[in-house]
Structure 1
Amino acid sequence: MKRKWFFGPAVLVLILALAGCGKTVEEQINTGVANAQTVFEENAQEPNKTIGDIELYLPSGYNVEKSDDVNNLIVTKGKDSFILFVNSNEKEDSNLHYELLKNDKSKKIVKEETVEFDGAFGFTAVVEYDEERFELIASCGGVKISTISEDKNIDGKLVDMMTIVRSVKLVEEADQTN
């Protein structure tokens, strides 16, 4: 009987201790950027969605809203919205989006990393949006996705964002490779 009384409070203390061990914003940013770079260097996911001339992979729970502008798509997951921009004039090795970010002196970049792999250029960046929110950016060549995020699940969002941009193919390109 005494063991039951000891076991219950011990489990409660363990649960409370684990709940208090959430990652700091800095840890989420560092982990997210590092993991997004790893995703960039892996084989791209096969597309599971086609919108106009764009094929892309959307992780579970993500949806694309209808849009008249096929170059700017709104991707959602729950309450989060992401803007996916596809510039069909830029190739996989383009660093246009990165140069635009770096040259915008109004942006306060918290962390950014570039990566080149198999002829493709990409980057991940976290930019301070305001005191409580961050702009998260993932890009591969002419494809960029961004969102405004509070300090929750930054690491997971960056990985999903890089997974999405790495998977984007234009239908014309996909037809030529077959």
Structure 2
Amino acid sequence: MKKWLLLTISAMLLLVLSGCGKSVEEQINIGVASAQTVFEESPREPNKKIGQIDLYLPSGYSIKETDDVNNYVLSKGKNKYILFVNVNEEEDSKLHYELLKNSMSDKIVKEQPVELDGAFGFTMVLNHGDEQFELIASSGGVKVSTISNDRKMDDKLVEMMMIARSVEVER
């Protein structure tokens, strides 16, 4: 009898705990910190080629070219991402960061610039209104962005940085 009671209580506790998600602030803090860790690791080996770029796409992602040779559309399920590749910018470029910092400073929820061995990157979360956020991960002249609600932002930021860090431009 005690075993069944203990098993029932354990099962109910597990259900209650699994229903508790991370808060928006926790997701943003974890996502930005984890994206910085990804930036500091060796870039992933490319597993896709499109146009003049090679890149790594995590499982579940697809990519399409657009009319603009610098922009690509990434998809994972219902989520859409924009991959912008400025082939004229080097690995140490701060252009995207400085433009966003100057034009969107009032909407920045969290940002984390990072420099490593001559490479510059950053992660930024912007308030987009109505519980939506713009997530940005950038490395040199490469920027991945999406609009997200308050779900799985931490996971998205990590995957976005994996993609941004992996892009290799054929010159």
User: TM-score by structure 2 length?
Assistant: 0.95
Q: Which residue does 1:110 correspond to in 2?
A: 109
Residue 121 of structure 2 aligns to a residue whose secondary structure is strand
Residue 97 of structure 1 aligns to a residue whose secondary structure is helix
Distance 1:86 1:107, change over 3 A: farther
Identity of aligned residues (%): 63
How many residues end up aligned between the 2 structures? 171
Task: Provide the aligned C-alpha RMSD in A.
Answer: 1.4
1:130 aligns with 2:129: yes
Distance 1:105 1:28, change over 3 A: closer
- In the TM superposition, residue 8 of structure 1 has moved relative to its aligned partner by 4.1
Q: Which residue does 1:6 correspond to in 2?
A: 5
- 5 Å-filtered alignment, 1:45-124, equals 45-105=44-104, 107-124=106-123
- In the TM superposition, residue 106 of structure 1 has moved relative to its aligned partner by 6.9
1:139 aligns with 2:138: yes
Structure 2 counterpart of 1:162, one-letter code: M
Residue 11 of structure 1 aligns to a residue whose secondary structure is helix
Is the Cα–Cα contact under 8 Å of residues 51 and 65 in structure 2 kept in the other structure? no
Is the Cα–Cα contact under 8 Å of residues 126 and 135 in structure 2 kept in the other structure? yes
Structure 2 counterpart of 1:126, one-letter code: V
Distance 1:87 1:107, change over 3 A: farther
Structure 2 counterpart of 1:63, one-letter code: S
Distance 2:16 2:51 in 1: 49
Structure 1 counterpart of 2:100, one-letter code: L
- In the TM superposition, residue 136 of structure 1 has moved relative to its aligned partner by 0.1
Unaligned runs of 5+ in 2: none
Distance 1:105 1:7 in 2: 53
Structure 2 counterpart of 1:19, one-letter code: S
Distance 1:38 1:106 in 2: 24
Q: Which residue does 1:26 correspond to in 2?
A: 25
Is the Cα–Cα contact under 8 Å of residues 127 and 134 in structure 1 kept in the other structure? yes
User: TM-score by structure 1 length?
Assistant: 0.91
Distance 1:106 1:91 in 2: 24
Distance 1:13 1:131, change over 3 A: same
Is the Cα–Cα contact under 8 Å of residues 101 and 107 in structure 1 kept in the other structure? no
Unaligned runs of 5+ in 1: 173-178
Distance 1:90 1:41 in 2: 20
Distance 1:66 1:11 in 2: 50
- In the TM superposition, residue 22 of structure 1 has moved relative to its aligned partner by 1.4
